[in-house]
Amino acid sequence: MEKNVEKLLRIKEKELIQAFEANNMTCLFVKDKDELTHYLKGIFNQQKKVAVGGSVTLNQLGVIDLIRESDVDFIDRYEEGLSRDEMMNRFRESFFADLFITSTNALTMDGCLYNIDGTGNRVAAMIFGPKEVIVIAGLNKICLNEQEAIAHIRECSAPTNAMRLNKKTPCVKTGHCMDCRSPERICSSYVKLGYQGQVNRIKVIIVEENLGY
């Protein structure tokens, strides 16, 4: 990383850590996949029941494989061949996990998390259920404020996810959210997580790369 980019990042790191702390969440920065892997290995153990939210970022960082290879009891939503009912049951089971690992569509400099969800299982488990939540995000998810976070979700996260899922929605063609009424719409629940009552239940880990969308 170029030295002035690094300098700017360190200033933002300090600001974000303080902002999340003020909202009763912890925040830490890791350089790359290796540092993240080392951190996660340190907290995985046989007693832990772990679930994950659907996430391109987690797959890019090898987190799903890492959980499968570890000793934890994994509620694996990515297991091949799951029926719709089995998948829904795993989503419900996730509420009883010790640890829920997910990404976020956006996070802001005032220490809030912004997400849009179709089924709602991911945002629901972030809000309530699992004893601990780890949110892993790349630098590209950092937004200045709520307005920028919502714009990022409508202009990037949601249309790109619709493309990934081969949805027949207008954003796949236009590249912008058209606030559609399509039966294949993937946007149902718009959720902001701000000040938390349960101190440090949510940990935000920022990986110093661009990841997901």
Give me the residues that bind ligand SF4 (CB under 6 A), please. Answer: 158-159, 162, 169-171, 177-180, 182, 185-187
Kindly state the smallest distance separating residue 198's Cβ from ligand SF4, in Å. 30
Kindly state the smallest distance separating residue 163's Cβ from ligand SF4, in Å. 10
Q: Which is nearer to ligand SF4, 68 or 173 (CB)?
A: 173
Residue 79 gets which letter from DSSP? -
Kindly state the smallest distance separating residue 141's Cβ from ligand SF4, in Å. 17
Q: Among 139, 142, 67, which Cα is nearest to 100's?
A: 67
Q: Give the angle 197-199-203 at the CA atoms, nearest 5°.
A: 115
Q: Which is nearer to ligand SF4, 94 or 169 (CB)?
A: 169
Q: How many whole angstroms separate alpha carbon 192 and alpha carbon 146?
A: 9
Kindly state the smallest distance separating residue 213's Cβ from ligand SF4, in Å. 12
Sequence-distant (6+) residues with CB within 8 A of 81 are none
Q: Which is nearer to ligand SF4, 123 or 187 (CB)?
A: 187
Q: Which is nearer to ligand SF4, 63 or 186 (CB)?
A: 186
Residue 102 has phi, psi (to 5 degrees) of: -150, 175
Q: Are 64 and 102 in contact (CB under 8 A)?
A: no
